[in-house]
Amino acid sequence: MARKRISGPKPEFLGAAGLADAGGIESKSMFGSPSSAPISQVVADGAAQNALNELVEDMARHRAEGRFVLKIPLTDIVQDHLARDRVNADTQDMQALIESLREHGQRTPIEVTLLPDVPKGAPKYGLISGWRRLLALEQLYQETGNPAFQTILALQRAPADAAAAYVSMVEENEIRVGLSYYERARVAAEATKRGVFETEKQALLTLFATASRAKRSRIRSFITLYHALDGVLKYPAAIPERLGLSLVEALRKDPDTAEQIVLALQQDPDRDAAREIKTLVAAIQPVKPQNVPRAEHSVKCASNGLKLVLRGNRIEITGEQVSPELLTRLKQMLEETL
């Protein structure tokens, strides 16, 4: 007699409806509601939970890596978390940025980092880059009261340390708008003052690692200018490279130059950038001696009719007796007497 092959259960019979159709018996869970086979439910629940855990972990990792754009209230960001490299915002450029944000909204996110151990209610993000965008949105919100300008789009970064955060800030500003030599010097000095770097030399080598040695040397020179005049200058970013280096040379030759510059700037408290530059130029220009006119003296020789006139540092001899022979005789006399 031939053996009959036994096939596996059909999938449609494993559910509650299949069981009911097969034998008129409805499978119920312990709560009395229809359910699938217990082992299948456990496996399905476990797989779903694992998938959810993986999704949560992926989202957390992507957020930490700065792949998600966050919408953060302006008041939740500490602007001076890092010593800013931008000392001031150009009025015309700033107004252009404000009008662009007003018309088109924010297109490029800023960069922030999550601050550790923040008290409840305190700002929990520190600004890395995007200071001008943050400032522009603050001005727009104050002007309009529009809630759309009350938040800012941001990427959350997790720098390895404070030095890495400073490098990120400097690189972003160098690429977008460039920095003046004074601003470069200032951020190196300020980061060192805050203990991020042990020395200003280390700060220069880290923050401007891709710059040439000559460029780092010029930035180091501007650090001297920063230490001498920071807090007094209103428009330090406007100082041209050549003028800045000349100022540094003058300061090194004569430390009193700094005091003279401070006094000169204090006499013009309402100055603009052009007048400040003019004052700095005047402070290092050598004082030219004034030519004081001397009294004129004249002597007339009665014997030969010659007239001698002293004008300043010149002696003029006039008369009919003036000749090449007379010039030779005068030369011999001067050589014998002087």
**Does 293 map to a domain?**
no
Looking at residue 36, the DSSP 8-state letter turns out to be -
> Which of 262, 258, 189 shows the shortest CA–CA distance to 221?
189
**Does 87 map to a domain?**
yes
Give me the mean pLDDT over the 206-230 stretch.
Answer: 92
Q: Which is higher by pLDDT, 145 or 23?
A: 145
Please say if the pLDDT value at position 152 is more than 80.
Answer: yes
Give me the mean pLDDT over the 197-214 stretch.
Answer: 91
**Does 324 map to a domain?**
no
Question: Which range of residues forms the domain containing residue 91?
Answer: 65-160
Give me the mean pLDDT over the 194-203 stretch.
Answer: 91
Give me the mean pLDDT over the 71-86 stretch.
Answer: 84
Q: Calculate the CA dihedral of residues 274, 279, 285, 287 and round it to 10 degrees.
A: 140
* CATH of residue 261: 1.10.10
**Does 228 map to a domain?**
yes
Domain boundary, last residue among 285, 306, 322: 285
* CATH of residue 140: 3.90.1530.10
**Does 196 map to a domain?**
yes
Q: How many angstroms separate the CA atoms of 179 and 237, rounded?
A: 8
Residues 155 and 206 grouped into a single domain: no
> Which of 289, 215, 227 shows the shortest CA–CA distance to 252?
227
**Does 313 map to a domain?**
no
Domain boundary, last residue among 131, 160, 189: 160
Domain boundary, last residue among 31, 47, 64: 64
Edge-to-edge strand list for the sheet holding 314-318: 297-300, 307-311, 314-318
CA distances from 98 to 136, 152, 169, 218, 290 (A): 5, 13, 21, 33, 52
Tally of domains in the chain: 3
**Does 131 map to a domain?**
yes
- Tens of pLDDT, residues 50-77: 777 777 776 666 666 656 788 999 999 9
- pTM of model > 0.75: no
Rama region for 70: left / alpha / beta (φ>0; ψ in -120 to 50; rest): beta
Q: Provide the token pair at 241.
A: 């490279």
> Which of 233, 264, 261 shows the shortest CA–CA distance to 247?
261
